[in-house]
């Protein structure tokens, strides 16, 4: 639709709107990362924000949006002389997930280079977004090297391009906004830290609030222009307030008390580095300007902490996001505010949305943004009003009595309560050797569309990435025959060469975990869960997809379909019950079915099967027959299809049957003990043509079982 949804018509989502407006007031805050489930007005609010930004004056004809009053002295289109500028609306530039690095930063203008023989620079999206908004939807699915590039540009306010004989530097100051659904995978902590603020959003569970969302949505779809006109007054008021806050921002004073509050908060929550302190200071200053004050108060520091710190406290993907607000208040209360002198009182509510009442604005009920989202305007301190469902209470403390050991026959006993996992540790790297083709990651070598250039070849089909040097070399010997020797370069289609690139691909790591009675000794199961959590952490760091199959009783279950969200896998594993017989063959066949389906969805992603078991097969489940024979046949089926496998042997005790080693031999992969899984273990590991287990950095030794 050509008419954007009004920013002030988004229902609820106060923290989201406030974070966006603070960046509009002070782009130095560093952008916003919006995390939340699908259909919560993330994209709607971001796209609507551009209409609230004031128009910008630009030098006519400048492709880099230089300001006439202060043009960039290093602008590639410069130098610019004095003169009147041309006003235009602030741009919102969207970076698609499949964008290339050339499209993001710019590259050599091939057409002019071939036609005119000059090294001309073709600007990318970073130049287009200068003095506007750069929006990255699904930022967690963007290639890591692209995220690094755009976050560096956002931090430095400039983009540096050194490629294909072109050396260019241009200004790139923009409001960076990224949105993501955590179910699809997490950003690395190093990249999370580069976003100034983060907001967690969720749809309201209150029926009345959801009704208001639907009303506004339907009203907007029926008459976009009329719906926008009804909200034009509120839009103008917020736009004027943004302009006023920008003008007031240089006058805001950040006193010593506020700086102490910021430093004590960051230190109290053990935030790494100093970026959090700087972002909190800028955010608190923008909050004061937004409230019409020239002094930063404790309430500004508190709100800044709630927006700037939660994502910086996550050391790994298993840490729950959020901030302990009681502890935050305790820290801030140590430093009372100084008495402001002749200071206007803060506005009661930073929420830009007026309460439309039960019948909506203008007396007519209207619906939510195109992405949904929701809730009515909040009351009180302006915190996020759309809360997720109440968390289930923690399970009762475990009984101090030791769990009974399963009998030798393992006659399926009652289900046992889930046990907590041991702390994760650094594991040896499990890798799939060889050169494949797949999505970018950091585990196996692969031919990908991104990565370092390793050579050139004739294009097969449509030319995607020109290898300029190879193309010139191919054309050079034929110039005399073409009659243009010494008078320029003549290229023909046969001369074109395409760059071949090599990167690292992410694999699919499918865990098959034995949850039967043979694994039910509580101490041992805690160690097993800790080992699986460690492997999950490794998969997260290497950008692998993960899946979880469990087997117990009479059947196997797909506990977690393959996903990039390893924190979801960890949550499922933590609640895993145990007990019953061991249908090992059912677990392997379930894994075979999961891998077959995933191969149809993504043929280029290579699987790595990690079977966590002691190797005892005491039940055939619904398959019927001898459990051991069925297990061996299922394992050989996986091996015949070339699935790389690793068996984590969890057998313990003075008498060991070695069944996990037999299973590993049938799978064609190595068997690794829990102790041998650790990166610092000296135990030797088996290698074969399908799976290699290599040593990573050393780690302090501790027992796993």
Q: In this predicted model, what pLDDT tens digit does every residue of 558-581 receive, in sequence order? A: 887 887 776 777 777 777 777 777
Other Cβ atoms within 10 Å of 232 Cβ, number: 11
Q: Among 407-411, 444-448, 505-509, whose mean pLDDT is lowest?
A: 407-411
CATH code 3.40.50.410 region(s) in the chain = 507-694
Of 107-121, 164-178, 388-402, 416-430, minimum mean pLDDT range: 388-402
Alpha carbon distances (Å) from 437 to 443, 462, 501, 643: 12, 18, 11, 16
* Cβ within 8 Å of residue 634, ≥6 positions away: 584, 585, 588, 589, 592
Q: Both tokens of residue 15?
A: 């923290």
* Cβ neighbours, 10 Å, residue 478: 15
Sequence-ordered alpha helix ranges (H) in 457-614: 468-475, 522-541, 566-574, 584-601
Percent of residues in the chain assigned helix, strand, coil, to nearest 5: 35, 20, 45
Contact 24, 177 (CB under 8 A): no
3-state secondary structure of 608: strand
d(CA 564, CA 336): 45
CATH placement of domain 507-694: 3.40.50.410
Q: Alpha-carbon distance 330 to 273, whole Å? A: 22
Q: Compute the distance between CA of residue 670 and CA of residue 691 in angstroms, rounded to an integer.
A: 8
Nearest 5°: phi and psi at 695?
-90, 135
Give me the residues paired with residue 130 across strands.
none
To the query of whether residue 275 is one of the catalytic residues in this protein, the response is yes
Confidence at residue 486, expressed as pLDDT on a 0 to 100 scale:
53
CA dist., res. 360 & res. 668, Å (int): 65
What local confidence, expressed as pLDDT, does residue 316 receive?
A: 57
Tens digit of each residue's pLDDT (9 = 90 or more) over 274-295: 888 999 999 999 999 999 999 9
Residue among 608, 611, 587 nearest 528 (CA): 611
Nearest CA-CA partner of 647 in 636, 662, 637, 632? 662
Tokens encoding 38:
């699908």
* pLDDT-derived band at 599, boundaries 50, 70, 90: confident
Among 36-40, 191-195, 522-526, which stretch is predicted with the lowest mean pLDDT?
A: 522-526
Report residue 230 as tokens. Answer: 């009804």
CA distance 536 to 317: 9
Which residue spans within 119-233 are E strands per DSSP? 121-123, 133-137, 158-163, 166-171, 175-180, 197-201
pLDDT band at residue 92 under the 50/70/90 scheme: confident
- Parallel/antiparallel/unpaired status of strands 545-552 and 555-563: antiparallel
Residue percentage of the chain with pLDDT more than 90 = 11
Longest Cα–Cα distance in the chain:
93
Query: So what's the pLDDT on residue 683?
Result: 34
Four-residue CA torsion sign, 393, 577, 563, 507 = positive
At residue 434, the pLDDT reads 55
C-alpha distance from residue 598 to each of 107, 545, 584, 595, 601 (Å):
36, 11, 21, 5, 5
**Is pLDDT above 50 for 697?**
no
* Residue pair 259/273 in contact by the 8 Å Cβ criterion: no
Mean pLDDT over the full length of the chain:
74
Please tell me which residue, 625 or 405, carries the higher pLDDT value.
Answer: 625
Cβ atoms within 10 Å of 378's Cβ, excluding its own? 18
Distance of alpha carbon 187 from alpha carbon 543, whole angstroms: 9
- Coil vs helix vs strand at 115: helix
Mean pLDDT along residues 483-494: 69
Q: Are 417 and 398 in contact (CB under 8 A)?
A: yes
For residue 498, count other CB atoms closer than 10 A to its CB. 20
**Is 312 a residue whose pLDDT tops 90?**
no
pLDDT digits 0-9 by tens, 223-258: 888 998 998 888 899 999 999 999 999 999 998 999
What does the block give as tokens for 371? 């992405």
Radius of gyration from C-alpha coordinates of the chain: 30
User: Could you tell me the end-to-end alpha-carbon distance of the chain, in angstroms, rounded to an integer?
Assistant: 60
Is the pLDDT at 684 greater than 50? The verdict is no
- In Å, what is the CA distance from 517 to each residue of 2, 250, 586, 616? 61, 67, 15, 10
Report how far residue 272's alpha carbon sits from residue 314's, in angstroms, rounded to the nearest whole number. 10
Looking only at the bridges linking them, the beta strands covering 498-505 and 508-514 are unpaired
Distance between CA atoms of 35 and 182, rounded to whole angstroms? 7
CA distances from 594 to 303, 546, 587, 603, 688 (A): 45, 12, 11, 13, 24
pLDDT exceeds 90 at position 669: no
Predicted pLDDT at 504: 54
Residue 501 in tokens: 């690139």
pLDDT in tens, 156-207: 888 888 776 678 888 888 888 888 887 776 777 667 777 889 898 888 788 8
Which tokens belong to 460? 């097969």
> For position 363, what pLDDT does the model report?
38
Residue 117: pLDDT over 90: no
Phi, psi of 608 (to 5 degrees): -130, 115
According to DSSP, the residues that pair with 33 across neighbouring strands are: 178, 198
Q: Which residues pair with 551 in a beta bridge?
A: 514, 556
Task: Report angle CA 63, 49, 372 to the nearest 5 degrees.
Answer: 130
What pTM was estimated for this model as a whole?
Answer: 0.62
DSSP string, 424-479: P-PBPEEE--S-EE-SEEEEEEEEEEEEEEEEEE--SSS--SB-HHHHHHHHGGGT
Which of 106-110, 174-178, 244-248, 341-345 comes out lowest in average pLDDT? 341-345
333 to 6, 67, 104, 282: CA distances (angstroms): 39, 44, 46, 21
169: helix, coil or strand?
Answer: strand
**pLDDT of 154 higher than 70:** yes
pLDDT at 260: 93
Exposed e or buried b per residue across 78-91, where buried means at least 16 C-beta atoms within 10 angstroms of its C-beta: eebeeeebeeeebb
pLDDT of residue 295: 92
Give me the pLDDT at residue 426, please: 56
Pairing of strands 106-108, 121-123: antiparallel
Measured between alpha carbons, how far is 539 from 582 in angstroms, rounded to an integer?
27
> CB of 594 within 8 A of CB of 562?
yes
52-61 pLDDT per residue, tens: 888 888 888 8
Q: Which of 342-346, 422-426, 640-644 has the highest mean pLDDT?
A: 640-644
The residue annotated as part of the active site, out of 91, 103, 275, 636, is 275
Q: What whole-number distance in Å separates Cα of residue 509 and Cα of residue 544?
A: 7
Query: Residue 688 — very low, low, confident or very high, per pLDDT cuts 50/70/90?
Result: very low
Write the CA distances from 504 to 242, 344, 623, integer angstroms: 44, 57, 40
DSSP 8-class letter at 253: B
Helix (H, G, I), strand (E, B) or coil at 325: helix
Between CA 198 and CA 312 the distance in angstroms is 9
Statement: residue 208 has pLDDT above 80:
yes
């Amino acid at each position: 639709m050509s008419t954007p949804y009004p920013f002030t018509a988004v229902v609820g989502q106060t923290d989201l709107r406030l974070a966006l407006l603070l960046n509009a007031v002070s782009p130095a805050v560093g952008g916003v990362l919006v995390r939340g489930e699908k259909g919560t007005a993330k994209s709607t609010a971001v796209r609507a924000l551009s209409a609230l930004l004031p128009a910008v004056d630009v030098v006519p004809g400048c492709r880099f949006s230089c300001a006439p009053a202060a043009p960039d002295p290093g602008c590639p289109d410069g130098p610019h002389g004095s003169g009147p500028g041309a006003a235009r609306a602030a741009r919102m530039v969207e970076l698609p997930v499949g964008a290339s690095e050339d499209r993001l930063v710019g590259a050599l203008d091939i057409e002019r280079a071939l036609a005119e023989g000059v090294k001309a620079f073709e600007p990318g999206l970073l130049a287009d977004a200068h003095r506007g908004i750069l929006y990255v939807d699904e930022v967690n699915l963007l290639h890591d090297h692209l995220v690094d590039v755009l976050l560096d540009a956002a931090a430095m306010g400039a983009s540096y391009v050194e490629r294909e004989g072109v050396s260019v530097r241009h200004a790139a100051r923009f409001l960076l906004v990224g949105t993501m659904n955590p179910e699809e995978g997490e950003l690395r902590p190093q990249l999370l830290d580069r976003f100034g603020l983060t907001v967690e959003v969720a749809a309201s569970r209150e029926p009345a609030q959801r009704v208001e969302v639907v009303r506004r949505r339907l009203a907007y779809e029926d008459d976009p222009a009329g719906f926008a006109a009804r909200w034009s007054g509120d839009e103008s008021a917020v736009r004027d307030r943004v302009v006023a806050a920008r003008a007031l921002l240089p006058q805001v004073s950040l006193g010593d008390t506020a700086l102490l509050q910021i430093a004590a908060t960051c230190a109290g929550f053990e935030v790494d580095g100093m970026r959090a302190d700087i972002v909190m200071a800028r955010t608190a200053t923008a909050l004061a300007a937004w409230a019409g004050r020239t002094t930063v108060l404790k309430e500004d520091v508190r709100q800044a902490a709630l927006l700037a710190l939660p994502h910086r406290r996550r050391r790994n993907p298993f840490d729950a996001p959020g901030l302990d607000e009681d502890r935050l208040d305790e820290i801030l209360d140590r430093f009372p505010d100084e008495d402001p002198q002749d200071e206007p009182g803060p506005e009661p509510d930073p929420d830009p949305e007026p309460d439309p009442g039960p019948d909506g604005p203008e007396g007519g009920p209207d619906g939510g943004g195109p992405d949904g989202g929701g809730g009515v305007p909040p009351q009180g301190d302006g915190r996020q009003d759309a809360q997720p469902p109440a968390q289930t209470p923690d399970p009762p403390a475990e009984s101090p009595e030791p769990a009974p050991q399963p009998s030798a026959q393992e006659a399926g006993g009652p289900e046992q309560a889930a046990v907590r996992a041991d702390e994760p540790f650094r594991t040896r790297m499990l890798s799939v050797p060889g050169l494949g083709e797949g999505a970018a990651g950091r585990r196996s070598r692969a031919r990908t569309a991104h990565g370092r250039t390793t050579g050139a070849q004739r294009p097969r089909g449509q030319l995607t990435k020109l290898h300029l040097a190879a193309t010139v070399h191919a054309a050079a010997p034929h110039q005399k025959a073409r009659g243009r020797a010494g008078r320029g370069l003549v290229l023909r289609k046969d001369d074109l060469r395409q760059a071949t690139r090599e990167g690292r691909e992410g694999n699919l790591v499918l865990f098959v975990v034995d949850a039967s009675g043979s694994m039910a000794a509580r101490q041992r199961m805690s160690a097993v869960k800790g080992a699986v959590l460690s492997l999950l952490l490794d998969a997260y760091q290497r950008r692998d997809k993960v899946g979880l199959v469990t087997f117990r009783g009479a059947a196997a279950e797909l506990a977690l379909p393959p996903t990039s969200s390893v924190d979801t896998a960890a949550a499922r594993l933590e609640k895993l019950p145990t007990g019953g017989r061991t249908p090992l063959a059912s677990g392997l066949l379930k894994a075979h079915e999961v891998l077959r389906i995933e191969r149809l969805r993504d043929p280029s992603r290579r699987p790595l099967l990690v079977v966590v078991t002691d190797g005892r097969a005491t039940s055939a489940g619904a398959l019927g027959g001898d459990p051991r024979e069925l297990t061996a046949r299922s394992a050989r089926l996986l091996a015949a299809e070339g699935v790389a496998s690793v068996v984590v042997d969890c057998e313990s005790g003075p008498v060991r049957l070695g069944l996990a080693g037999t299973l590993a031999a049938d799978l064609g992969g190595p068997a690794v003990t829990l102790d041998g899984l650790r990166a610092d273990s000296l135990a030797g590991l088996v290698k074969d043509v399908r799976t290699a287990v290599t040593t990573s950095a050393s780690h302090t030794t501790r027992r796993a079982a």
